[in-house]
Amino acid sequence: MIQLVRGFKDILPEEASVWQEIETTARNHFHDFGFNEIRPPVLEEAALFKRSIGELTDIVEKEMYTFAGSKGNLLTLRPEATASVVRAYIQHRLYAADPVQKLYTIGPMFRKERPQKGRYRQFYQINAEVFGIASPYMDAQLIYMVTGFFRKLDITGLRVHLNSLGCPECRARYKAELTAMLSSRVDNLCADCVRRLDKNPLRVLDCKVPACRAEVEQAPSMIDYLCGDCAAHFATVRSALSDMDVPYAIDHRLVRGLDYYTRTAFEIQTDELGAQSAVAGGGRYDGLVALLDGPPQPAVGFAIGMDRLVELVMARKPAGVVAPDLFFAAMGEAAWRKAFEWSSRLSDAGVRTEIDFSERSLKALMRRADRLGAKYVIIAGDQELANNSVNLRDMKTKEQIPVPIDSLVETVKQRIVN
């Protein structure tokens, strides 16, 4: 028997309903904040991610699914969505009509990570990106928006971690100080961190190796090196969050895993998922549009890990398939033929129906209706058809009423839909 590929996951019907609920809530919530959906493809030129994410990141170095295209060019299954959205923003000149664009996307990403609980090689994200707004109030509103989204899903106990990564100018001073400090402890760093030390020392702060984490405990804080403009930007983000009653904690070790971030960086964490504590993260990336050959436009955004979010939602509400509104307990060929017609017309009218075409007894059919969680059952056999009337049973109250066949569709619509 052919098995599922390691690191990938089937989303079965009883869990898919939770995914649908999350996606619907996200779309409605984001639309209320002025966002429009964009759907970029999952396959892009590899150069897009090498330039945007950074060649010294774990993603580009180790985790991308990259292969040769028919013309010899390298293609990559997208490991994240922001670069693809920026590419679409530039390629389709969305900035020409209005540089301010609020976009979101929902879909799969691909990374060759070590499979573990809550982390798959095909994983799903909800991404939101804002272009053309440099104001720190936009940073704060995005954080407020994503925390509000979690509230609508009844997710509590989340913590907002906040930091500033500064601009290229003030970050250069910080990198020099951090490099000097880490160079004195190079013997205690892992091989990856030693290799990154010269070109990207901030990535050492993000290393998960315990020895490296211990060494950076005494590292200087980026916030202490912010220039005047970056410090003012960060102060406004913090005060705006306080005005909106969004609690947060300053996290001096928080850096994003992608090279394009500047200024605001944030992460939303929970204690309910073990070691994989982050469920959302984002920040500002003002230089990315220009880096990818677009016009200089500021940008800020975030990504939500859907796989982990589904775990949180399912911990509060058991998963299950959607129960039918109406089950047809039809017995015999003539009853099946009528039930087929009624079911089709009612489904068109918004009534979720189910029919059992097997030759079972009425008792067995009722047991199946009960297992499915059907709200109502139509009981129809040769005798009911001869009498031109079937029985409609309310499975909760056990009330059973006769319904004329000629008006069955309208009667059921009025009782269930209305």
Is residue 296 included in any domain, yes or no?
yes
As a whole number of Å, the end-to-end CA separation of the chain is 48
Is residue 217 included in any domain, yes or no?
no
Full residue range of the structural domain in which residue 116 is found = 13-167+227-316
Domain end (from 316, 341, 367): 316
* Per-residue confidence band for 325, with pLDDT thresholds at 50, 70 and 90: very high
Predicted confidence at residue 21, as pLDDT, reads: 93
**What three-state secondary structure class fits 147?**
helix
Tell me: do 347 and 233 sit in the same domain: no
Residues 6+ apart with CB under 8 A from 299: 86, 129, 130, 131, 132, 284, 285, 286, 288, 289
Identify which of 178-192, 234-248, 355-369, 388-402 has the greatest average pLDDT. Answer: 234-248
| 342 within 8 A of 404, measured Cβ to Cβ | no
Is residue 176 included in any domain, yes or no?
no
Tell me: do 138 and 262 sit in the same domain: yes
Q: Give the CATH number of the domain where residue 42 resides.
A: 3.30.930.10
What span, in angstroms and rounded, lies between the C-alpha atoms of 273 and 118? 8
Q: What DSSP state is assigned to residue 116?
A: B
Percent above pLDDT 90 for the chain: 57
Q: Could you identify the residue written with the tokens 């010269």? A: 198
| 298 within 8 A of 124, measured Cβ to Cβ | no
Between 225 and 183, the more confident residue is 225
What span, in angstroms and rounded, lies between the C-alpha atoms of 118 and 306? 10
Among 289, 330, 301, 250, smallest CA distance to 81 is for 301
For 196-214, the pLDDT digits (tens) are 777 778 878 877 788 888 8
Tell me: do 306 and 338 sit in the same domain: no
Tell me: do 262 and 408 sit in the same domain: no
Is residue 184 included in any domain, yes or no?
no
Q: Could you identify the residue written with the tokens 């945007």? A: 52
| 242 within 8 A of 232, measured Cβ to Cβ | no
Arithmetic mean of pLDDT, 208-230: 85
What span, in angstroms and rounded, lies between the C-alpha atoms of 64 and 44? 11
**Helix spans in 109-161 (H):** 136-152
Percent above pLDDT 70 for the chain: 96
Arithmetic mean of pLDDT, 396-409: 90
Is residue 84 included in any domain, yes or no?
yes
Residue 298's alpha-carbon distances to 122, 146, 230, 262, 289, in angstroms, are: 30, 20, 14, 10, 8
Tell me: do 294 and 405 sit in the same domain: no
What span, in angstroms and rounded, lies between the C-alpha atoms of 128 and 381? 54
Is residue 210 included in any domain, yes or no?
no
Arithmetic mean of pLDDT, 41-45: 95
Token reading at 297: 């436009």
Say which range, 110-119, 302-311, 328-337, has the weakest mean pLDDT.
Answer: 110-119
Predicted confidence at residue 418, as pLDDT, reads: 63
| 244 within 8 A of 45, measured Cβ to Cβ | no
Tell me: do 113 and 135 sit in the same domain: yes
Is residue 126 included in any domain, yes or no?
yes
Tell me: do 284 and 148 sit in the same domain: yes
For 124-159, the pLDDT digits (tens) are 999 999 999 999 999 999 999 999 999 999 888 889
Q: What is the mean pLDDT of the chain?
A: 89
On the question of pLDDT at 118 being above 70, the answer is no
Q: Could you identify the residue written with the tokens 């016009």? A: 295
Predicted confidence at residue 319, as pLDDT, reads: 64
Tell me: do 348 and 307 sit in the same domain: no
Query: Which run of H or E residues covers position 87?
Result: helix 82-91
Q: Give the CATH number of the domain where residue 336 resides.
A: 3.40.50.800
On the question of pLDDT at 49 being above 60, the answer is yes
* Per-residue confidence band for 364, with pLDDT thresholds at 50, 70 and 90: very high
Predicted confidence at residue 252, as pLDDT, reads: 87
Query: Which run of H or E residues covers position 175?
Result: helix 168-183
Arithmetic mean of pLDDT, 24-49: 96
Cβ-based neighbour number of residue 279 at 10 Å: 24
Tell me: do 378 and 303 sit in the same domain: no
Tell me: do 341 and 279 sit in the same domain: no
Tell me: do 302 and 344 sit in the same domain: no
Is residue 303 included in any domain, yes or no?
yes
Tell me: do 163 and 111 sit in the same domain: yes
* Per-residue confidence band for 415, with pLDDT thresholds at 50, 70 and 90: confident
Domain end (from 250, 281, 316): 316
In total, how many domains does the chain have? 2
